[in-house]
Amino acid sequence: MVRILLRGPLNVSEISDVLRLSQSNVSHNLKNLLDAGIVIRKGRGSWVYYRLNRHDPVIRILIESIAAGASSIENHDADMSELTRCYASRRMESKQFFDRIATEWDHVSDLMPDPESYISDVLEMFPVDALILDAGCGSGELVLRLARRGTSVIGVDQSQEMISEAGKKLFAKCHNKNVELRLGTAEHFPVADSSVDGVIAHMLLHHLGEPPAFFTEAARVCLPGALCAVIELLPHDNADLKRTHGDLWPGLDLDEVRDWMMNAGFKIENKYITDDGRAFILSGILEERNGNG
């Protein structure tokens, strides 16, 4: 269980499927791991995930020891194959949701924090003459805002229906020719290495099957010194968001997201909570790559 949790949080059903164990067996062993302080439980009701407790220094040493020998543990290849299938299933669930909801997306956001209270400040972090990647661009609202400033933008989304809606919006409201929409995922951007001046992810991570992979991709496509900015929900227990917005995660822990960003090579620049207390904004600068300048 610890080995498969090294890659990221999982719920009881997912752990059961990956390890081919009964849910009662999984729940029993998770209780032991919880009592030992090795895992942390997040969420409520049926929306509960377990993740490794990397904040305790003693537990972190134990986790690192397991990670070093993970490939020698029995059934490694089979478990990794099932884990990959689990993440693929999450991505497909999210994609199918947004394909269905694309034409209504701009009208179902009442439960989300109001972006007007913070989005202008976030966009001002990016130079006007930069090339910015909008990851998970959805119906294109941020692409439109950036383009109207005269900024060059690449909008990427996994849903063809969302890309189509964004294209309609841009055609009707924007004349900036330096805007491009591309079909792709946040784990595999259709963008060349070291080619953009910044990446922005607005309310994206809680829709991703594997959120840490976003930062790895952001670091790949960014030039050294580029800014990555994330606006994301804090942990919550609002089940209506899962139902109406297709959320995979009940918000995310700010410190955990900060660690993902730093591990990918970004130096944290800004970290703060929005005025309504429901979301956080985190930004970091990509540091020079060793050997690549």
- Span 114-121, mean pLDDT? 91
- Specify whether the CB–CB gap between 210 and 14 falls below 8 A: no
Mean pLDDT score across all residues of the chain = 89
* 247 vs 220 pLDDT, higher one: 220
Which segment of 11-25, 132-146, 240-254 scores lowest on mean pLDDT? 240-254
**pLDDT score, position 44:** 64
Banded model confidence at residue 46, pLDDT cuts 50, 70, 90? low
| pTM recorded for the entire structure | 0.80
Banded model confidence at residue 110, pLDDT cuts 50, 70, 90? low
- Span 118-129, mean pLDDT? 94
**pLDDT score, position 109:** 65
- Specify whether the CB–CB gap between 183 and 160 falls below 8 A: yes
- Span 151-165, mean pLDDT? 93
**pLDDT score, position 291:** 47
How far, CA to CA in Å, does 112 sit from each of 64, 223, 245? 37, 32, 9
- Span 146-175, mean pLDDT? 90
pLDDT(78) > 90: yes
Domains (ranges, CATH) in the chain? 2-74 (1.10.10.10), 117-286 (3.40.50.150)
Q: How many CB atoms lie within 10 A of CB 132?
A: 26
How far, CA to CA in Å, does 95 sit from each of 90, 145, 148, 178? 9, 24, 28, 27
**pLDDT score, position 224:** 96
* 96 vs 182 pLDDT, higher one: 182
**How far is residue 248's CA from residue 87's CA, in Å, rounded to a whole number?**
11
For the segment 264-276, what is each residue's pLDDT rounded down to a tens digit? 999 999 999 999 9
pLDDT(293) > 50: no
Banded model confidence at residue 289, pLDDT cuts 50, 70, 90? low
pLDDT(187) > 90: no
3 state SS of 271: strand
**pLDDT score, position 257:** 94
For the segment 50-75, what is each residue's pLDDT rounded down to a tens digit? 989 988 899 989 998 988 988 888 89
**pLDDT score, position 195:** 97
**pLDDT score, position 42:** 80
**pLDDT score, position 45:** 61
The interaxial angle of helices 12-19 and 23-35, nearest 10 deg, is 110
Residues 6+ apart with CB under 8 A from 142: 119, 123, 134, 155, 200, 202
**pLDDT score, position 292:** 44
- Span 187-194, mean pLDDT? 95
* 290 vs 88 pLDDT, higher one: 88
**pLDDT score, position 197:** 97
**pLDDT score, position 59:** 92
